[in-house]
Amino acid sequence: MEATFRKADQILALTGCDRLTIYPNLLSEMQQLNASVVVKLNPNPNPNPNQTVEPRPALMTEAEFR
């Protein structure tokens, strides 16, 4: 997920998101935090044991994307 984050709180609000682009200075700031991190985004908060999980699509190259 590409976005412009200005504060570590914005990133922590998206905990559980698979991929985030985070500036190194914010990563350093988050390393200094002594708080526990709680997953906020969960694609399946109440899993059904009979439900099958769709596999993720294969990663593609930039050439395939274009």
Confidence of residue 2 (pLDDT cuts 50, 70, 90): low
Q: What is the DSSP string of 1-24?
A: ------SHHHHHTTTT-S-----H
Kindly state the DSSP code that residue 59 receives in the 8-state scheme. P
Could you tell me the two tokens for 22? 């985070």
pLDDT score at 47: 63
How far apart CA 45 and CA 39 sit, in angstroms, is: 10
Domain boundaries, the chain: 1-42
Q: Report residue 42 CA to chain centroid gap.
A: 10
Instruction: Report which secondary-structure segment, H or E, holds 9.
Output: helix 8-12
Q: Could you report the per-residue pLDDT of 3-45, keeping only the tens digit for each? A: 688 888 898 898 888 788 888 999 999 899 888 888 888 776 6
Amino acid 42: pLDDT: 77
pLDDT for res 51: 59
Please report which confidence band the pLDDT of residue 61 belongs to, taking 50, 70 and 90 as the band edges: confident
